[in-house]
Amino acid sequence: MSEKIQIPSGAVLAKTPLHELHVELGARMVPFAGYEMPLQYPMGILGEHLHTREKAALFDVSHMGQAFLQGADHASLAGALEALVPADILALGRGRQRYTQLLNNDGGIIDDLIVTRSASPADDGSLHLVVNAARKTVDFAHLREHLADNIRLQPLEEQALLALQGPQAAKVMARWCPGAAELSFMSAAALKFDGIDCHVSRSGYTGEDGFEISVAAADALRLARTLLSHADVASAGLGARDSLRLEAGLCLYGAELDETTSPVEAGLAWSIGKRRRQEGGFAGAARICAELADGPKRIRVGIAPEGGAPAREGTEILSHGGSPIGLVTSGGFGPSFDGPVSMGYVEAVYGEVGAPVSLVVRGKPRPAHIVALPFVAHRYVRAQVQTRN
Amino acid sequence: MPETHFTKDHEYARIEGDIAVIGISDYAQSQLGDVVYVELPEVGRRLAMGEDAAVVESVKAASDVYAPISGEVVEANGALADNPAAVNQAAESGGWFFKIRIADRSELDQLMGADAYKSYTEGL
């Protein structure tokens, strides 16, 4: 027996502030983006996944890059950042956050990120960024190179990031941080959690309701232990995080997104502001605006294999007629979907929901069909009056 | 005690007369985690020792299962299609993969006995 998928071992791995807790909980630690991270705990990926959808799970995502961008005021800072991302940052309200992408001049995605405007008027001209672990060095260099000298990028090296995800997350947070439960999806505030200063947002990467908590490294362990003391909370690792985001139809950088892929191809046009589409003026705007007008050549789709065999990253996708039309970018077993799930890119004409395709797994074409994403419905807790750009 | 032999790659062959029952060891299933899919060889297929014979998939990864010895497949464990978790629950009993008619008993000499395999996994 041999595993086909091997995790490359890094040289010197960084540890998150929760490292000792992971080891104590019996996690299987693996190298990931230069960090030693928990892949799973004794409950196992399947159990952790289902627990997240049923109750609440705590994820250590401290490997992700956090930074503040600081400028003279919101308008000038937003204007500068808007040259590099297609989202409407100017219209971002205080305490609101937005998902966007750092784009290169060809409209390819350097990284995807969450941008949060501080809730406090005293911090006007400050944006909090969360970027991918494996991309933070590239991102920060890109920002420094392309933003004027009067805008300061301050990476938050000593800041942990925890995610509490699941339908019970709000109830759990409310015990120690009543303000958290009052946030709506994609909102954030500086709050106290059992006396600990932290920055809480209602967001996540599982499709469930949940929170991300940015906290000083020195306080992270106490905060994590407090959350885990709640009967509804289990710890969950990177394995469950990946199967949860895949079922939720969310993109993973390096799988669905890379420097050749545009946000329009990736099905992320919803994150491109209306004003931005009209005005352009961001890196890659020529390609993005053309794809918005004429449709992209290829599109990201969900694919449900019909047999039991998962079709993993790199699997070739064939049309009903047998010609190659694309590749799977993420695939595996969806514990809540209770079957194999894949995402990939196909030529746009083949991307209609319901269309039959074949997936070549171990040399054999197997039946599958295009499905609407997500595989498992999102359960975000949105504001009553939805303001999306 | 049934006679069981193990490979370094964690397959076992349990000898029942002329037949060997093939599966993956309990150690292997614990390393793989939750098994979600198993692909088995067709009955009648002749397998050479060390040849790719089956595939076991966990949530995270697909792994090849090799034939621990040569022989013709006489039965595949169809119950695993509906309940792949049986591999986790009972790897060395109900979670067997397939049975082969043993072609060459002398190949068994190249495998480990239960005690040798136990020491081998303890050293991993």
8 Å CB contact of B33 and A3:
no
| Separation CA A371–CA A200 (nearest Å) | 34
- Beta carbons within 8 Å of A262's beta carbon, 6+ residues apart: A103, A107, A108, A109, A284, A287, A288, A291, A296
Q: H-helix or E-strand containing B31?
A: helix B26-32
CB contact, 8 Å: B87 with chain A?
no
Whether A176 shows a pLDDT value over 90: the answer reads yes
Nearest CA in chain B to A308: B37
Q: What is the model's pLDDT at position B35?
A: 97
Whether A136 shows a pLDDT value over 80: the answer reads yes
pLDDT, averaged across chain A: 95
Domain positions in chain B are: 3-117
| Separation CA B63–CA B45 (nearest Å) | 20
Token digits of residue A203: 């967001």
ipTM for this model:
0.91
Architecture of the domain spanning A14-62+158-247? 2-Layer Sandwich (3.30)
The tens-digit pLDDT sequence of chain B (124 residues) is 679 999 999 999 999 999 999 999 999 999 999 999 999 999 999 999 999 999 999 998 999 999 999 999 999 999 999 999 999 999 999 999 999 999 999 999 999 999 999 999 999 9
Whether A274 shows a pLDDT value over 90: the answer reads yes
CB contact, 8 Å: B59 with chain A?
yes
Q: Show residues of chain B in contact with A1, CB under 8 Å.
A: 7, 9-11, 24, 28, 56, 63-66
Size of interface A-B (CB pairs under 8 A): 69
Q: What is the model's pLDDT at position A382?
A: 86
**pLDDT-derived band of residue A313, with 50, 70 and 90 as boundaries?**
very high
8 Å CB contact of B36 and A39:
no
Q: What is the model's pLDDT at position A9?
A: 53
Q: Show residues of chain B in contact with A39, CB under 8 Å.
A: 60
Q: Which of A9-13, A106-110, A114-118, B106-110 has the lowest mean pLDDT?
A: A9-13
Q: What is the nearest CA distance from A191 to chain B, expressed in angstroms?
A: 36
Q: What is the model's pLDDT at position A110?
A: 98
Q: Would you report the helix, strand and coil content of chain B in percent, each value rounded to 5? A: 25, 40, 40
Q: Which residue has the tokens 């400028």?
A: A71
**pLDDT-derived band of residue A8, with 50, 70 and 90 as boundaries?**
low
8 Å CB contact of A332 and B60:
yes
Token digits of residue A20: 């000792």
First to last CA, chain A: 51
Q: What is the model's pLDDT at position A383?
A: 73
Q: Show residues of chain B in contact with A42, CB under 8 Å.
A: none
From B7, B37, B55, residue closest to A333, measured CB to CB? B37
CATH code of the domain made up of B3-117 = 2.40.50.100
pLDDT in tens, A376-389: 999 999 875 444 44
Whether A4 shows a pLDDT value over 60: the answer reads no
Q: Show residues of chain B in contact with A312, CB under 8 Å.
A: 61-62
Q: H-helix or E-strand containing A14?
A: strand A14-15
CB contact, 8 Å: B80 with chain A?
no
pLDDT in tens, A325-338: 999 999 999 999 99
CB contact, 8 Å: B66 with chain A?
yes
Question: In this structure, are residues A32 and A132 in contact, taking their beta carbons and an 8 Å threshold?
Answer: no
Token digits of residue A372: 């609407």
Nearest CA in chain A to B28: A1
User: Quick one: what percent of chain A has pLDDT higher than 70?
Assistant: 96
8 Å CB contact of A4 and B61:
yes
Domain positions in chain A are: 14-62+158-247, 297-371
Region for residue A145 given its phi and psi (left: phi exceeds 0; alpha: psi -120 to 50; beta: otherwise):
alpha
Architecture of the domain spanning A297-371? Beta Barrel (2.40)
8 Å CB contact of B64 and A2:
yes
8 Å CB contact of A46 and B11:
no
Q: H-helix or E-strand containing A79?
A: helix A74-81
From A1, A4, A239, residue closest to B59, measured CB to CB? A239
Whether A354 shows a pLDDT value over 70: the answer reads yes
